[in-house]
């Protein structure tokens, strides 16, 4: 994922529940009071069954150690956002820099 708004999933990658995934990220220009984070959400029928927020260099375990998805299994549609988080003047800010989506087998 790139801070310039371009994202793509590597060719041939077929993630599944229980897999560990990482994201190649490039953060463009962000304000000195902001910091980058990756927000990963997986949904089934529009309902969030797994989510994780972590640093861009983190490894994400699809389904985590305890989630609805881990309990029920099945295919999920996942979306990962590269965001800029921060506070300035007491106000909280989150900006989406880039986004990528993929289906993960259950």
The pTM of the full predicted model, rounded to 2 decimals, is 0.86
Q: Which domain holds residue 87?
A: 20-104
Residue 1 is predicted with a pLDDT of 57
- For residue 97, tell me if it sits in a domain: yes
What CA–CA distance (Å, rounded) separates 83 from 88? 16
pLDDT band at 6; cut points 50, 70, 90: very low
E-assigned strand segments in the chain: 20-21, 34-44, 47-54, 60-61, 76-88, 91-104
- For residue 53, tell me if it sits in a domain: yes
- For residue 1, tell me if it sits in a domain: no
- For residue 11, tell me if it sits in a domain: no
Each residue's pLDDT tens digit, 29-49: 898 999 999 999 999 999 999
Residue 3 is predicted with a pLDDT of 54
Measured from the Cβ of residue 92, the count of other Cβ atoms closer than 10 Å reads 8
- For residue 8, tell me if it sits in a domain: no
Residue 27 is predicted with a pLDDT of 86
Query: Please, which residues bridge with residue 79 across strands?
Result: 41, 101
- For residue 7, tell me if it sits in a domain: no
């Amino acid at each position: 994922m790139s801070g310039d708004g371009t994202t793509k999933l590597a060719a041939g990658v077929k993630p599944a529940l229980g897999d560990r995934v990482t994201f190649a990220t490039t953060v463009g220009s962000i304000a000195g009071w902001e910091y980058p984070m990756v927000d990963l959400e997986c949904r089934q029928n529009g309902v969030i069954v797994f989510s994780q927020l972590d640093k861009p260099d983190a490894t994400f375990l699809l389904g985590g150690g305890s989630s609805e998805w881990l309990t029920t299994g099945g295919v999920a549609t996942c979306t990962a956002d590269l965001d800029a988080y921060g506070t300035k003047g007491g106000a909280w800010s989150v900006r989406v820099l880039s986004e990528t989506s993929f289906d993960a087998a259950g």
